[in-house]
Amino acid sequence: MRSDEEIMFAVANGDINAFEEIVLRHQKAAWSVAYRFLGDSAEAEDVAQDAFLKILAAAPRYRPSAAFHTFLVRVVSRLCMDRARKMHPVYTDAPPELPTPEPSASQAALRAERDMAIRRALDALPPAQRMAVVLRYYEDLEYRAIADAMDTTEKAVERLLARARVALRVPLNQYKANEAGSDGGFEPVARL
């Protein structure tokens, strides 16, 4: 099995069919980053497609200074942040996950309410903070990879995440307080 870098070199040398392999390997990751940031499935698909088109156009200039995944996340991040400057937030449900046993109607309603509270809180963040949160807490990237993807330093990523945590504390604690008051049980917001 060829590495991503080998495939990109093949694409740079004119093998367009090899690019399909890159897309198939990474389309889910590209869509996931875009969806977590934008909160809209159709917009996420557009961003993922745009990212792959940009990568295809840049293939002759591609130099693997980092893992291909980091390069892809950088392209997707930039496209998302450009779109965020141009659009208003869209509130949606959480992205689809692997099938699990059906929750009860009340559990589903609570989860939808929680997801909406998280989405609103994330959408209120400045784009750079939101992207740092998405890459760290949803995509599980390390600070170095986030810094590479956002074309900044690890220290800047630390500051972005610290400011985001402070900004998220009030709306998420308010939600926790409301939730605990309504049924006595709050499912913690994952790692935020």
Measured between alpha carbons, how far is 75 from 137 in angstroms, rounded to an integer?
19
Measured between alpha carbons, how far is 143 from 67 in angstroms, rounded to an integer?
14
Question: What is the rounded average pLDDT for all residues in the chain?
Answer: 82
CATH code, 157: 1.20.140.160
Q: Provide the number of structural domains found in the chain.
A: 1
pTM score, whole prediction: 0.64
Domain assignment of residue 23, given as a range: 4-183
Position 116 scores a pLDDT of: 83
Q: How distant, in Å, are the alpha carbons of 131, 169, 176 from that of 68?
A: 19, 34, 39
- The answer as to whether 26 is a domain residue is yes
Q: How does DSSP classify residue 61?
A: G
Tens digits of per-residue pLDDT, 36-67?
998 889 999 999 999 999 999 988 888 887 78
- The answer as to whether 17 is a domain residue is yes
pLDDT over 90 (residue 30)? yes
Task: Name residue, tokens 């049980």.
Answer: 185
Position 192 scores a pLDDT of: 54
Mean pLDDT of 91-107: 60
Tens digits of per-residue pLDDT, 118-176?
888 888 899 999 999 999 988 888 999 999 989 899 999 999 999 999 998 888 877 77
